[in-house]
Amino acid sequence: MTTNRGRKALMLALSVAAVAGVGLVGGGAGPAAAAGLEWGDCDPAVKPLPGQQCATLSVPLDYADPDGEQIGLAVARLRSTRPEARRGTLMVIPGGPGSSGVQRLGQKGAALSKEMNGAYDLVAFDPRGVGGSAKARCGFAEEDRRLVTLRSWPAADGGIGENVARSRRMAEACARNGGAMLRGLTTAHQVRDLDRLRQALGERKLSAWSVSYGTYVAAVYAQKFPGRTDRWVLDSSSDPDPKRVARGWLAGMARGAEDRFPDFAAWASAPERDEDGLRLAERPEDVRPLFLDLAARLDREPRASTTAGTPLTGTVLRQALQQALYSDAAFPAFARLMSQALDPAGVPVLPPELAGPMPDEAATVSVGVICNDVDWPASVPAYERAVAAERIRYPLTAGMPANITPCAFWKGGAVEKPTRITDRGPSNVLMIQNLRDPSTPHSVGMRMREAFGDRARLVSVDKGGHGVYLGNGNACGDRAVTRFLTEGVRPAEDVLCR
């Protein structure tokens, strides 16, 4: 989720230093008991942590008609175990669009609770369309709900005719079946829902830890409700340009893959991979041509996989790479997939998320938000030219980030005008960003940093992958976020964690 506008000066300002800085005034603790929410035991299906409670928040389907139809949003919390240390509520804002806040709380709640040491109640909710919240359904065909078709990969020869037909078909399905619930899937409504949750919790201000797409939600909230933000963390941001929004995030993935691939190449060529049979080449510089050649061969001759009816194609291999670049922990499985494909007798085992279609509800929310948030170009020839150029410049992603989507044929256009992020508001934002992020590249995240101006400080981390805090093992970065959230101490200037 790239240009160079003003980033050199900011990069020069990065200090290789210990993260130390100035204190921020806190927002004050809210009441220990939430108002307007009936907390109870969580459904075992959400795999709640010990002590986790769940509730349903009622919000308007359409905020233009606040007294009209209401829908329910799933909410979860882990209460502070040290009431004397509690200073408020920390919202855990997930990525996506389409990720579950309740699920993320379950994944990160234990580690986050330990870091916060009772300073906050930890609260998250499932955005509209997600998890336990009210759903929208476009009624997509099964073949249109696969990750390799939701991501608009061009044909092996670079043609986009099939992508155009699919995008048109999906937009028509949403216009036919989505209704008011689909039109309510917007970042602006998620921000309003977040503020409605703040009111239900009885809090004057909220603190937040947001990740990936969630950083855009957090940025828009900080712009619309600056006086209701306490300590605000944006982890792995992209460009908030209101003219492009998700279109710009998608485009950045081409740069991100290039930034991140050398980490995988170094790992996959290291001698210690020999003992696991996962060493793909003797030198890091040989891994990239090996991958590109294998993908081209699979374009010509797909290999049968262990999933009946779903072969390993060049497109599937490229999509599997995109997922593997998110975390070092995914490198072994992807190297094994490449090894199986390189072995004439091997039978590739596809990653589970590539072996079948997504549920219709999940596909609907992932498409609905990005298409409702901003108007997308509609010229098919323009997409064809962009894809042709991208395939030459960024062969790892083969033109996918520049390709057409259902948004090109979206009925009704953007639901409302996107928000422009500015430097007007309290200086209480801490950004943290990996230098080699495959999804939200550091160079693109710098545009969020520029937009906030003196409202923010940036901690850059010399690591690869998507998601930083409590995710990549960098003690310097983790310490910076923990200290900010618990003590209000933020770096005096932008810093770099080696």
Please, which residues have CB within 8 angstroms of residue 93's CB and are 6 or more apart in sequence?
A: 101, 124, 194, 208, 209, 210, 211, 214, 215, 217, 218
Q: Which residue has the higher pLDDT, 23 or 77?
A: 77
* Residue listed under structure tokens 């790479």: 321
Calpha distance 285→264 (Å, rounded): 11
Calpha distance 209→92 (Å, rounded): 5
pLDDT the model gives residue 487: 98
Q: What is the dihedral of CA 350, 351, 355, 357, to 10 degrees?
A: -160
**Global model pTM greater than 0.95:** no
pLDDT tens by residue, 218-263? 999 999 999 999 999 999 999 999 999 999 999 999 999 999 999 9
pLDDT tens by residue, 51-66? 999 999 999 999 999 9
Q: Which of 27-41, 114-128, 187-201, 384-398 has the lowest mean pLDDT?
A: 27-41
Q: What is the dihedral of CA 384, 388, 393, 396, to 10 degrees?
A: 90
- H or E stretch including 320? helix 314-324
Asked whether the beta carbons of 291 and 338 are under 8 A apart, the reply is yes
Please, which residues have CB within 8 angstroms of residue 344's CB and are 6 or more apart in sequence?
A: none
Calpha distance 450→6 (Å, rounded): 8
Checking if the pLDDT of 25 tops 80, the result is: no
Reported confidence tier of residue 9, pLDDT bands at 50, 70, 90: very low
- Helices 246-268 + 287-300 axis angle, to 10: 110
- Per-residue DSSP letters for 416-473? SPPPPP-S-S-S-EEEEEEEE-SSS-HHHHHHHHHHHGGGEEEEEEEEESS--TTTS-
Reported confidence tier of residue 473, pLDDT bands at 50, 70, 90: confident
Residue percentage of the chain with pLDDT more than 70: 93
Q: Quick one: average pLDDT of 123-151? A: 97
Checking if the pLDDT of 16 tops 60, the result is: no
Reported confidence tier of residue 453, pLDDT bands at 50, 70, 90: very high
pLDDT the model gives residue 454: 97
pLDDT the model gives residue 372: 98
Checking if the pLDDT of 14 tops 70, the result is: no
pLDDT the model gives residue 21: 35
- Helices 360-373 + 187-201 axis angle, to 10: 100
Which amino acid makes up residue 362?
Answer: A
Checking if the pLDDT of 282 tops 70, the result is: yes
Q: Quick one: average pLDDT of 285-309? A: 97
Checking if the pLDDT of 20 tops 70, the result is: no
The radius of gyration of the chain from alpha carbons, rounded to an integer in Å, stands at 22
Half-sphere exposure of 209 (CA within 13 A, CB side): 30
- Helices 161-177 + 360-373 axis angle, to 10: 100
Reported confidence tier of residue 6, pLDDT bands at 50, 70, 90: very low
Asked whether the beta carbons of 453 and 489 are under 8 A apart, the reply is no
Checking if the pLDDT of 374 tops 70, the result is: yes
pLDDT the model gives residue 472: 87
DSSP 303: B
Average pLDDT score, the chain: 93
- Between β-strands 21-23 and 53-60, what pairing exists: parallel, antiparallel or unpaired? unpaired
Ordered domains of the chain (ranges, CATH):
7-134+184-246+420-497 (3.40.50.1820)
Checking if the pLDDT of 17 tops 60, the result is: no
- Between β-strands 489-491 and 21-23, what pairing exists: parallel, antiparallel or unpaired? antiparallel
Asked whether the beta carbons of 187 and 420 are under 8 A apart, the reply is no
pLDDT the model gives residue 36: 79
Calpha distance 395→402 (Å, rounded): 12
Q: Quick one: average pLDDT of 140-164? A: 97
Checking if the pLDDT of 114 tops 70, the result is: yes
Q: Quick one: average pLDDT of 73-96? A: 97
Checking if the pLDDT of 29 tops 50, the result is: no
pLDDT tens by residue, 100-111? 999 999 999 999
